[in-house]
Amino acid sequence: MPAIRVRWERLDAPGADAAKLYRVKRTWHIQGNVESIVEGMPVRIAYHVGCGADWSTRIFSVSVRSEAFRRRLGLVVDTDLRWSLLGEERPDLAGCTDVDLFPTPATNTVPIRRLNLEVGRSAEVLAAWVRAPNLVVAPLRQRYTRLAEDRYRYESLGSGFTAEITVDEHGLITDYPGFWARAPGSVP
């Protein structure tokens, strides 16, 4: 499968996210770059999620750059869902199946593809929620409900936040109301 490139425009602040979804042998990858205003400051965020053939998260890396600082974070996940940061196990993340990076819509693709829900079905996941620009990581319970072939309800069970998101045939967001929209002319 050739790389699928997508670009989103941020709706709640100035910014954009350019990402690509690609496969290397039996692994899936989402890699992207966000340029936006986060917590009042212009930042550049580069991220990469590496998954197994079944879309289980195995590695995650992110770097954030601003005029004031540079930060990096790397997480590794084993098959028993134990997460490590710089070689140190993070027991608070044990059992997390996915990573959710704020502020990109790209990381929603992983649970959507991994769960492969039938229309009308829902599933809870525990995600390692990474919030830029500080790169604080915490577990976050979430629920995905497939409303139609191309539509899901996303719920953050910790905060009560809910959104109806639209996806393409690859599970990539086309519309995240109020936050992200696929840029005109974006492929596919």
Per-residue pLDDT reduced to its tens digit, 52-79? 999 999 999 999 999 999 999 999 999 9
- Alpha-carbon distance 35 to 25, whole Å? 30
- Go through the chain and tell me how many residues it has: 188
For residue 187, being part of any structural domain is answered with no
Q: 136 pLDDT band (50/70/90 cuts)?
A: very high
Q: Which domain holds residue 53?
A: 4-182
CB atoms within 10 A of CB 69: 11
- Alpha-carbon distance 42 to 15, whole Å? 9
Q: How many domains does the chain have?
A: 1
pLDDT at 80: 93
pLDDT at 184: 81
Does 188 have pLDDT greater than 60? no
For residue 143, being part of any structural domain is answered with yes
Q: What is the CA radius of gyration of the chain?
A: 16
For residue 81, being part of any structural domain is answered with yes
- Alpha-carbon distance 134 to 72, whole Å? 9
- Alpha-carbon distance 56 to 51, whole Å? 5
For residue 157, being part of any structural domain is answered with yes
H helices present in the chain, as ranges: 109-115
pLDDT at 86: 83
72-114 per-position pLDDT tens digit:
999 999 999 999 998 899 999 999 999 999 999 999 999 999 9
